[in-house]
Structure formats: structure tokens, C-alpha cells
Amino acid sequence: MVSKRHGLLHTLTGPREAVHLDAPALHTLVPDIADRDVFICGPDEFTRTVIAAARDAGVHARHIHHEDFAF
């Protein structure tokens, strides 16, 4: 699906403590992130952290889409 849309998929592996998803990290992965829609799926704390990082990276709230799940 990603390749059909000429996209790029970043897979980050490891514990959350080792894989930081703050605003600078998001800018490194997606330099024009403020002009994109961001889709987040994960546990509540992870989702909140990435939403905050996306907002800090300049993504407008209406371009942030998320789904929470719990184990």
C-alpha cells in the first residue's frame, strides 16, 4: 500500500525508552511533517507522547489522527 502511493514507511524497533519520538526525531524522519497528516496507533501513553511531539513539530491538530489500544 505504501509503495503504491509512493510513500515511505519508517519502522522503529526497540523499547520506547530507546526509540525517542520527540519533535526533533519526527523532523529527522519526515522533514516536512508540519505539512502532513500523522496517523498514530498504540497504547495511551505512547499515543499521547507522539501527539504532543507532532504538535511540537508544527502539525495542526486536525491533521493528527489516532487510535488507542491497550494490552
Q: Which residues pair with 65 in a beta bridge?
A: 39
Please give the pLDDT value at position 38.
94
Going by DSSP bridges, is the β-strand pair 38-42/64-68 parallel, antiparallel, or unpaired? parallel
User: Residue 71 corresponds to which cell in the numbers above?
Assistant: 494490552
Please give the pLDDT value at position 71.
64
Mean pLDDT of the 6-11 span: 87
Phi, psi of 65 (to 5 degrees): -120, 135
Reported as a single tens digit per residue, the pLDDT across 33-50 is 999 999 998 888 889 999
Work out the pLDDT band at 69, boundaries 50, 70, 90: confident
User: Residue 8 corresponds to which cell in the numbers above?
Assistant: 515511505
Q: Which residues pair with 38 in a beta bridge?
A: 64
Q: Which one is predicted more confidently, 1 or 34? A: 34
